[in-house]
């Protein structure tokens, strides 16, 4: 059976993980879970979660072509999303059976990664410093890809609609 996760379910799961592991640092979480991270030539793929059944061990492969640390960190967080949300699924069978389901699982892993890398608590801690920053400035401030900030915007309504539509993209109201 394939579990269906809503954004709210994923956010709650991430909050429990943050409590359990005491960090949102993806490399520390991998270390605590004994997940090995390697860089390989993955062709078009940015990352891959592999389970070695014989050893009951997980490996996260990141594409060696991705040289930017921010993107690599997101890829590791994304693969951790698959680990925590989908590790009991055979991803290759899913991909071959349904493109829609595959896209849904990828979307869930992206939400997981965004919530892990930028938890609400972190936003609250920096509220005063970030309240007038643009999306790109926020991404730079937190050292994250802009799509993570955009996800948080959609979840928390960080940016006013008016400013989003005019392209100014200033944070003017944060309600956490």
Q: Which residues are catalytic?
A: 79
* Whether the Cβ atoms of residue 57 and residue 34 lie closer than 8 Å to each other: yes
Strand order in the sheet with 36-40: 36-40, 57-63, 47-52
Q: Which residue has the tokens 């921010």?
A: 70
What DSSP letter does each residue of 67-78 carry, written as one string?
--HHHHHHHHHH
Residues 176 and 174: their CA atoms lie apart, in Å, by: 6
């Amino acid at each position: 059976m394939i579990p269906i996760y809503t954004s709210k379910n994923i956010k709650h799961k991430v909050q429990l993980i943050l409590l359990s592991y005491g960090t949102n640092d993806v490399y520390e979480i991998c270390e605590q879970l004994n997940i090995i991270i390697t860089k390989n030539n993955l062709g078009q793929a940015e990352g891959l979660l592999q389970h070695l059944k014989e050893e009951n061990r997980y490996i996260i492969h990141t594409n060696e072509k991705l040289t930017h640390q921010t993107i690599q960190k997101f890829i590791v967080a994304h693969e951790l999303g698959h680990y925590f949300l989908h590790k009991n699924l055979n991803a290759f069978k899913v991909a071959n059976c349904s493109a829609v389901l595959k896209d849904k699982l990828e979307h869930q892993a992206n939400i997981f990664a965004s919530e892990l890398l930028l938890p609400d608590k972190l936003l609250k801690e920096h509220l005063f410093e970030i309240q007038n920053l643009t999306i790109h400035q926020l991404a730079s401030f937190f050292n994250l890809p802009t799509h993570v900030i955009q996800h948080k915007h959609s979840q928390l309504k960080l940016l006013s609609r008016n400013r989003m539509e005019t392209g100014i993209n200033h944070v003017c109201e944060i309600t956490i």
